[in-house]
Structure 1
């Protein structure tokens, strides 16, 4: 599988394809995918992206913007390997073959068993296939979906807001507001990009949260995640979460993996966990957290109301080491994103 024509133009087109991919919804069972069609002279013929389940995939979306035959001899630059199966839509590999595409460039192989094989099908049809162009960058852009597809469960983000000394509430239990408006607005944007928002019954009983995704002026954002509550204690009939516009689920199960499996079956690919510490700790202990998202406020509270409880770590040698992804200032607060350190892959 070749690399004719140099990498630089392909990388430029791939970065544009990533920009296009981000226009699609981040919360569905389908990945965000972008596509750029390039003429033999290097000019851009058309662009496309996937808008969600049941809509045209990125490749077909781009092809649909051209007259019949106009894509013959062109290069398709796609963030994800073109699919090779029929679901709600037909296989993109066959659409590219039928359009007369001469070369297909993609970044990341499709990890789903029923959709992979597109590269092989294209090569069998005589189309030049170039793989792994900006693979690391594209993997970072669609990491939640890729991780979910590879693990067979939703990508789990454990979020909390705390003081510098790790407290999520004052001694009397009050916690509104530890962080400022910029941090809270960021949380709501991330809620809107998630398939579900998960809390324990203790959080609902203590705070009666709405768990909605809202704009800075309080209006509901266009997408609302499914609201999910886990725990054995009964919830009040008038709990705000029962009226959640994105839907409501409750689980009494102690098996958190089973909860995630159930959400996976419903099409949820990203779960945003907002507490409380009992639930966050349980997920961390069971190795079910893929990303830790912490908002640190420059305040000190003292006391015992810690963000995370006992993780069963006997000594510093067994500490859970995380890889720091980013640390950014939001107003007076700091947002930290870290991910569990994975064991290096064996050769």
Structure 2
């Protein structure tokens, strides 16, 4: 169903592009002072905060798509001249680094430990700085919290606690075994990195991004049905990058019949991107044998339903965490009415049509008080166009029954190993 992700390489040292494997020992090893037990604290040092910024940078090397979160880890040790004093920032050194590069590869903490072990670095007494709470369950591999314990790490600094009750509990497990754990370090940056994965993990349904390309007066097609192209090549390239970060693209059968889309993610050169999202068609009409959806690209799934909650439940079962909703106005309205859109990516072109097809269908709204409210981020200029990214404020689903609104409250998926 989904392209298998590789888990990224691990690195030693603090600068430069990472090699695929460690080929030399790091510049320093953990000192005897660093091997000593560290008394519990509730705050992170400046050096640990700097290491967290580095860990977040490492995490971004992992894939934005897939069921697993992007996570980075930095192992720190204290040099001999510091005498074990963590307030002395000049003698704290990076021992090893790691990040998660996708399903089936080591988690960031294990990747960093493997890098240290390959170089013969002793990490006993070291500090692990990690962007997401170490997992505490057994999947394809053992729990990361236990791996840190087994390695002798004495302190763990965490940006974001895992919201999933299945995988969470790593911090508690570490504390119970005498490890000093600090959480909430650079938490805002950590949550921004995981802003799509965290809701999916906590609610048990994919995060949904509604993507529209529209004129300044809100039209997605002219009166004759033509829509190629409303936005500029710059905006369309950006939209392809968004597709490459998604697990699935969802459209309705009406869009398939009208536009015959391929729903592929392409590079700036027009070639197929390495990751191709699942192509999902919603509705009862069949996809014709000659449709471009049968061509090269991601797997094709046809869901014979008009219920947004059923669509997301089916995709959740396929380990889809991020859905890009690209259907027409009817499908967009259905998801908005059900309260199942999390954010909007609106590519707006400086074009006026005055008539034609609107971006969003009927939402059943009769007064301003019931409008769908958005929280915009910074607008992004894309050539002559502007990208507006906005989070959807929570509201009661219009006409949705309790089963639909409950689709976002189930326990979240566990991290795969």
**RMSD after superposition:** 1.3
User: How far is the alpha carbon of 1:82 from its aligned partner?
Assistant: 0.1
Other structure's SS at 2:364 match: coil
Q: Render the CA deviation track for 1:41-64: whole Å, top value 9, x for unaligned.
A: 311111100111111000000011
Q: Which runs of 5+ in 1 are unaligned?
A: none
Aligned positions, number:
342
So what's the TM-score if we normalise by structure 2?
0.80
Which stretch has the larger CA shift, 274-283 or 239-248? 239-248
Kept in 2, the 8 Å contact 1:195–1:270? The answer is: yes
Residues 1:42 and 2:92 are matched in the alignment: yes
Corresponding residue SS for 2:162: coil
Q: How far apart are 1:342 and its partner, in Å?
A: 4.1
Structure 2 match to 1:154: 206
Return the offset for 1:337.
Answer: 0.3
Runs of 4+ in 1 over 4 A off after TM superposition: none
- On the 8 A contact 1:277/1:309 being kept in 2, the answer is yes
Aligned residue number for residue 85 of structure 1: 137
State whether structure 2 residue 109 is matched by structure 1 residue 59: yes
SS in 2 for 1:39: strand
**Aligned-partner Cα distance in 2 for 1:243–1:219:** 14
Q: 1:115 aligns with which of 167, 185, 206?
A: 167
Matched, 1:17 2:55: yes
Q: Measure, in 2, the Cα distance between the counterparts of 1:146 and 1:123.
A: 23
Deviations 1:285-341 (A, max 9, x none): 100001100000001011141101111112112211111122110100000000112
Matched, 1:307 2:359: yes
Residue 3 of structure 1 deviates from its aligned partner by 3.2
Instruction: Give the secondary-structure state (helix, strand or coil) at the position aligned to 1:79.
Output: strand
Equivalent runs, 1:180-195 vs 2, <5 Å: 180-195=232-247
Residues 1-347 of structure 1: pairs in structure 2 closer than 5 A: 2-3=41-42, 6-40=44-78, 41-67=91-117, 70-342=122-394
Q: 1:182-226 deviations in whole A, cap 9, x for unaligned?
A: 100001011011100110111110111110000122100100000
Task: Point out the more displaced range, 68-77 or 278-287.
Answer: 68-77
1:111-142 deviation per Cα after TM superposition (whole angstroms, max 9, x unaligned): 12221110011001111000001111111111
Classify the secondary structure of the residue corresponding to 2:116.
coil
5+ residue gaps, structure 2: 1-39, 79-90, 396-417
8 Å CA contact retained: 1:53, 1:88: no
Q: CA deviation at 1:243?
A: 2.8
Report the structure number with the largest CA radius of gyration.
2
| Native 8 Å contact 2:272 2:297 kept in 1 | no
In 2, Cα distance between equivalents of 1:342 and 1:246: 31
Q: Secondary structure at the match of 1:334?
A: strand
Given the two structures, how large is their TM-score scaled by the length of structure 1?
0.96
Please list the CA deviations of residues 218-265 of structure 1 after superposition, one character each: whole Å capped at 9, or x if unmatched: 100100000000011122111111234210100111221111111111
Encode CA deviations 1:257-281: one digit per residue, 9 max, x unaligned. 1111111111110001111111111
The change in CA–CA distance for 1:244 and 1:265 in structure 2 (over 3 A counts) is farther
Query: 1-side partners of 2:258 and 2:345: how far apart?
Result: 22
Contact 2:95/2:121 (CA < 8 Å) preserved in 1?
no
Q: Is the 8 A contact 1:69 1:99 kept in 2?
A: no
Greater Cα shift, 154-163 or 60-69: 60-69
